[in-house]
Structure 1
Amino acid sequence: MTEHATVPLRLRGMGAFHVGGRDVELSGLPVREHLMAEGGQPVRIDPNGRYVVEQMYAQYFLADPDAGRLPLLLWHGGGMTGATWETTPDGRPGWLHEFLRRGRDVYLCDAVERGRSGFAPVPHVWPEAPVIQTPADIFTRFRIGTRDPATGALCPFPDTQFPVAAFDALARQMVPRWTTTDAAVLAGYLALLERTGPAVIVCHSQAGVFALRAAHARPDLVRAVIALEPASIPMLDTATRAYDVPTLVVLGDHIDTDARWPRMADRIRTFANAHAAVDILSLPDIGMHGNSHMLMMDRNSLAIAGRVSDWLIHKGV
């Protein structure tokens, strides 16, 4: 708990809006009768016509007092929603609250095809089914602990910073995600940047790809990136445009316990070595041990937020 967590939260405004999206026209589909409510009368459903799809939902929270610094855009990871940044699974204040208390305006998003954002008729617009993760997959993939191959029991790492007693609350946050909607998701995020103006992106996992692409494409709008364990590094065309947006990549602990993460960490280090604007903050290297993939939910999440805030101030953003 930091001193900021005890300060009453004040806002000078809040609201929500949708951005982006596109129109699609469906035709040649059969008309059907469908019961829309228990005890009601069947309704004639004609699926043909114009649809608005792939719009993105965002909330904004305006800090009071305002520290006069750039706003933060909080972008969540795969199979998750903006709830990632709100109250932690065990009920502590999330990064949304912490940075508001630090005087930053914050925009909280549900990416396209998540939460309150726009979906699309399946399979007429999105031909593939979504992917859903089991709680056991989440537990091991997010490096909270291991799974006993004989019994299936979930065994947390002895030093884990994740609040294991509240793991079920994290599992309930997970939602279906598509793997073929990257272009639509990125378009939504770019539309948000057009709406907000210059900002800092704080991204997690899957959203790292979108944040780095947005920073490379629109450095006039993306002034810094905080990437919490980006799940991948996109192939950027740096021959025609350099990547020079100040970027901090934050890595947790137990990287070597998952088959994918050592390879992803290598790609992150290669990216940082190739671009002077990119810094890496490895938490174990500075004595912060036991952090999971869910850095913003771990028990020391506010201490990590403090490190991030200090880095942003040092960079002048």
Structure 2
Amino acid sequence: MRHRTGFLAPLYYDELRPDHAPARSVVLVHGGSVTGACYLSTPDGRPGWAHTFAEHGYRVLVPDWPGTGRSTSLPPDEVTGEVVCAALGALLEAQDGPVVLVVHSMSGPFGFRLTATHGDRIAALVALAPGPPGDIQPEPTVLDETENDVEIQGLALRWRLPKHGLWWPSDAFARAKMIGASTRFPADAVASYSRQLGPIPAGLLAQRQNLRGSQLRGAGRFDGKPVLVLTGDRDTDHPRAADGATAEWLSAHGAEVTYRFLDDPEHTGNGHMLMSEDNSEALAELVIGWLDGVS
């Protein structure tokens, strides 16, 4: 099923239902340069995480951020993290009960903000290689700035960000950031995957990089909320210590945190796109097993 809502900013989402009455619902939120489609199928054509969750009895909602993917009626310069969180928060409020919220990468701070503001609507949070909240993310070094763009040094990558409109990913970005040092990304799909990546609203990307302290802050009490932070050991931009600091911040604010850095023999080799790699189904099963243990 496909839906378009009028929640504050237009929000498109897919809905998958299990064969029987669902035990609970999960909302799968994508990261930057991709859409919710990353959860529907893998780059090499296998069923994605959404189908695995539905097979395990979940009702699955897969939105596209306002201003991206199939929710593109909002002009890019009007898209901010606050706008995305408002639309996602309204989606959470429209559900019959609390949901499992899964966020990835650039949507990590959205998940932290929503857990602070809509904690009663979130049963558990799963943060896949999450960007850190503005509470702990350092500001990047500005290397160069013009009237139209600004160049910064991030944790692992150098970025030239436009000040307005859209930022378009390059093939080099796809290979360095999205695939990186992964040994799990389907080799035959690298070139086609790179061509399928989409743009990010400029202001939203500047927030993700915490340019001039603009990243969303998630400060609040998480009061025992179950949170799983899951990171691949070959993720170029998410070393163990970086996501470990995010896990520590969550714990300090009251969350019950499990941090899994995937360097055990069964799961090693994963990069940034955990839902797209050759062991994606096993990773979805890992998340579902964790949810079974905290429900």
TM range (shorter): 0.5 to 0.7
One-letter identity of the residue aligned with 2:17:
L
Q: Cα RMSD over matched residues?
A: 2.1
From the superposition, tell whether residues 277 and 19 of structure 1 become closer, same or farther in structure 2 (CA, over 3 Å): farther
From the superposition, tell whether residues 115 and 261 of structure 1 become closer, same or farther in structure 2 (CA, over 3 Å): same
Is this contact kept in 1: 2:113–2:219, CA < 8 A? no
Provide structure 1 residue ranges, at least 5 long, that are not aligned to the other structure. 1-13, 22-53, 128-179
Shift of 1:106: 0.3
Alpha-carbon distance in structure 2 between the residues aligned to 1:118 and 1:196: 23
Superposed CA offset, 1:233-290 (max 9, x none): 343333xx344321101110124x54x6456324224225524511111111464111
3-state SS in 1 of match to 2:260: strand
- Pick the aligned partner of 2:104 from 198, 204, 213: 204
- Pick the aligned partner of 1:248 from 228, 232, 243: 228
Match of 1:193 in 2: 92
One-letter identity of the residue aligned with 1:89:
P
Is this contact kept in 1: 2:2–2:12, CA < 8 A? no
Is this contact kept in 2: 1:231–1:264, CA < 8 A? no
Alpha-carbon distance in structure 1 between the residues aligned to 2:75 and 2:107: 24
Provide structure 2 residue ranges, at least 5 long, that are not aligned to the other structure. 136-217
Aligned-pair identity (%): 35
Residue-pair matches, total? 211
Is this contact kept in 2: 1:216–1:243, CA < 8 A? no
One-letter identity of the residue aligned with 1:189:
L
Is 1:88 aligned with 2:36? no
Q: Could you state the TM-score of these two structures normalised by the residue count of structure 1?
A: 0.61
Is 1:294 aligned with 2:273? yes
Is this contact kept in 2: 1:233–1:267, CA < 8 A? no
Match of 1:271 in 2: 249
From the superposition, tell whether residues 204 and 17 of structure 1 become closer, same or farther in structure 2 (CA, over 3 Å): same
One-letter identity of the residue aligned with 2:249:
F
One-letter identity of the residue aligned with 2:231:
L
Is 1:214 aligned with 2:114? yes
Alpha-carbon distance in structure 2 between the residues aligned to 1:253 and 1:102: 27
One-letter identity of the residue aligned with 1:310:
G
One-letter identity of the residue aligned with 1:224:
A
From the superposition, tell whether residues 269 and 245 of structure 1 become closer, same or farther in structure 2 (CA, over 3 Å): closer
Q: Could you state the TM-score of these two structures normalised by the residue count of structure 2?
A: 0.66
Instruction: Give the structure with the higher percent helix.
Output: 2
Q: Computing the radius of gyration over CA atoms, which structure comes out larger, 1 or 2?
A: 1
One-letter identity of the residue aligned with 2:68:
R
Shift of 1:110: 0.6
From the superposition, tell whether residues 237 and 61 of structure 1 become closer, same or farther in structure 2 (CA, over 3 Å): same
Alpha-carbon distance in structure 2 between the residues aligned to 1:82 and 1:219: 23
Is this contact kept in 2: 1:200–1:224, CA < 8 A? yes
One-letter identity of the residue aligned with 2:246:
I
Alpha-carbon distance in structure 1 between the residues aligned to 2:63 and 2:2: 12
3-state SS in 1 of match to 2:119: coil
Match of 1:16 in 2: 3
Superposed CA offset, 1:135-184 (max 9, x none): xxxxxxxxxxxxxxxxxxxxxxxxxxxxxxxxxxxxxxxxxxxxx61111
Match of 1:73 in 2: 27
Match of 2:131 in 1: 231
Alpha-carbon distance in structure 2 between the residues aligned to 1:276 and 1:221: 15
One-letter identity of the residue aligned with 2:258:
D
Is this contact kept in 1: 2:85–2:110, CA < 8 A? yes
Alpha-carbon distance in structure 2 between the residues aligned to 1:283 and 1:263: 13
Alpha-carbon distance in structure 1 between the residues aligned to 2:233 and 2:260: 11
Shift of 1:121: 4.2
Shift of 1:112: 0.8
Superposed CA offset, 1:54-113 (max 9, x none): 3211222221123x4220101000121111101100011100111111111100101111
- Pick the aligned partner of 1:280 from 251, 259, 263: 259
Match of 1:183 in 2: 82
3-state SS in 1 of match to 2:6: strand
